Amino acid sequence: MKVAVLSGGVGGARFLRALAETLDPADVTAVVNVGDDLEVLGLHVSPDLDSVLYALAGLDDEERGWGRAGESWHALETVAQLGGEDWFRLGDRDLGLHLVRTQALRAGEPLSAVTARLAAALGVRTRILPATDDPLRTRVETAAGLLDFQTWFVARGHRDEPDGFRFEGAESAAPAPGVLAALDQADLLLIAPSNPHVSVWPTLAVEPIRRALAERRVPCIAVSPLVGGRAVKGPADRMLARLSGGTSPAHVAACYEGLIDALVVDEADADDLDGLDVRAIVTGTLMTDAAARRRLAAAALGVAV
Amino acid sequence: MKVAVLSGGVGGARFLRALAETLDPADVTAVVNVGDDLEVLGLHVSPDLDSVLYALAGLDDEERGWGRAGESWHALETVAQLGGEDWFRLGDRDLGLHLVRTQALRAGEPLSAVTARLAAALGVRTRILPATDDPLRTRVETAAGLLDFQTWFVARGHRDEPDGFRFEGAESAAPAPGVLAALDQADLLLIAPSNPHVSVWPTLAVEPIRRALAERRVPCIAVSPLVGGRAVKGPADRMLARLSGGTSPAHVAACYEGLIDALVVDEADADDLDGLDVRAIVTGTLMTDAAARRRLAAAALGVAV
């Protein structure tokens, strides 16, 4: 069974890891959000691609939830001491990847090609594709003005209430090579338990990708990132409450209107299915350990464990 | 007493540190070689400026002889794992500086201004000036072709015999702001115990700097980098033997023909002064510890210790 998965960062990365542990990893294609990519210290950083890459390579720091395990922070300590740009936490091991990727991008290699090389070097067989090789940047509309995603999320600690999002560059962005073919050839389409507004919508803002989901001939199943109406991590619940009218499974499904056939919801939300107009698949969705994440993957895949 | 010192990397850095420990550091100006600067992993690296900066900030690894003390190498381990450019050893703490500097240079800040900021951030009161803000690159003529300095020195381990040097960009390079004023206002000019051919000549290839030394009204004293006709570190002795006819004090002095009034030579070379046409100052020149390096500084300054 071939699956294609729209994914954001941490939650998506864990889910992808579970899928790669359940299926043949070569049959899993991740289409990853690049809306929160940024340039920091002159380096191109792709936080979601890296979260996925590190998780699939088994290099991620599961406790911290981002970045690499066994990380050190000496370069950034120097940067801080020298008055440089230190607001975005880049570890030393992580920096090595950003240096290699930035140099390749500057030399004209597309992001998708660099990503494939990095994945191969780390022994990752799951295909990791950026949604697009073109610039696509999420900006957040707030009372404080239109903010770059990472300025809003990291530098200002997502304290400004979002009034909306813009996905700059999306209208002219082409899907990265391989994305449409993966969506077309998949036996099952999945949307990972990522933040709908800022981790999945930027990818869906690339019109040919949205169209591929809208015109699908195979089922598409989304996994809700909420547990009991609360985000496991990050501001997804606040966004849903403010911009989508609530945090029930129906509100999550509404973020993917016309694009999904089922929603995997947590047991904690099983009594809150009013208004949900797609099939509910109820299971434990917290990926607290390997067994739990594989249970979630199996539920999404419709496979008994 | 104000001094201005032409300097290369490690030997020059130690000598400058001794001068800054002997005089008021604010009265010492280092004019540092940039001929061996390079771009690696997309970063601008200035090895000699950094050796000087780290030594004066007390951050240098005295045992290794280059880079920072307490260094880690995690970023470069990642680079190697990902098939990136790992031939030039950049430590994690060191990388932080290269990131900050490269970002500033890309934003249009001159190298001299960045260097002043970095030195201030590290509490260094000695003035550190690049010889020039303009591109000036040492290339080595060898039987294997014309090689970038670091390709010759690091990547190929200086195994190709040099037949000559080119200082590309020198003819159009202007001295960095402050260099000519420092040379003009100094009470004493010094040439550090650095490799004449590749650490001092690139700076002297900037014509206004050479002219300032040639037309000096104060003494100029060079410190020989050789001990008993041998380089303490690196290929200076091989270069002198091959390109300047020998490794005696007279051969070292000939590298600075018309530019110096005295040469500080090691006790081990005291019996080999034939043909030396400038005054010899004989002392121990090995900077094995703080006392030894200060003794050398005092000898060069003509100050009794």
- Complex ipTM value: 0.94
Can you give the pLDDT at residue B303?
A: 72
3-state DSSP call for residue A90? Answer: coil
Q: CATH topology for B3-301?
A: Rossmann fold (3.40.50)
CA distance B100 to chain A (A): 6
pLDDT tens by residue, B169-184: 999 999 999 999 999 9
Q: Is B96 in contact with A74 (Cβ distance < 8 A)?
A: yes
On whether the CB atoms of residues B51 and B202 are closer than 8 A, the answer is: no
Domain ranges, ordered by start, for chain A: 3-41+125-301
pTM for this predicted structure: 0.95
pLDDT band at B305 (very low <50, low <70, confident <90, very high): very low
> For the residues B98-116, what does the mean pLDDT come to?
98
Residue of B nearest to A79 (CA): B96
On whether the CB atoms of residues A50 and A94 are closer than 8 A, the answer is: yes
Q: Is B103 in contact with A96 (Cβ distance < 8 A)?
A: no
- Which phi and psi (to 5°) does residue B60 adopt? -75, 155
pLDDT above 90 for B63 = no
CA distance B227 to chain A (A): 36
Can you give the pLDDT at residue A304?
A: 52
All residues of chain A having their beta carbon less than 8 Å from the beta carbon of residue B43 are 99
Q: State which residues of chain A have pLDDT below 50.
A: 305
On whether the CB atoms of residues B127 and B30 are closer than 8 A, the answer is: yes
**Percent above pLDDT 90 for chain B:** 95
Distance CA A134, CA A114 (A): 14
> For the residues B264-288, what does the mean pLDDT come to?
96
CATH classification (class only), A3-41+125-301: alpha beta
Distance CA B201, CA B184 (A): 19
Can you give the pLDDT at residue B152?
A: 95
Can you give the pLDDT at residue B28?
A: 98
Can you give the pLDDT at residue A305?
A: 47
Can you give the pLDDT at residue A170?
A: 98
pLDDT tens by residue, B25-45: 999 999 999 999 999 999 999
Residue closest to A248 by CA, chosen among A264, A226, A263: A226
pLDDT band at B304 (very low <50, low <70, confident <90, very high): low
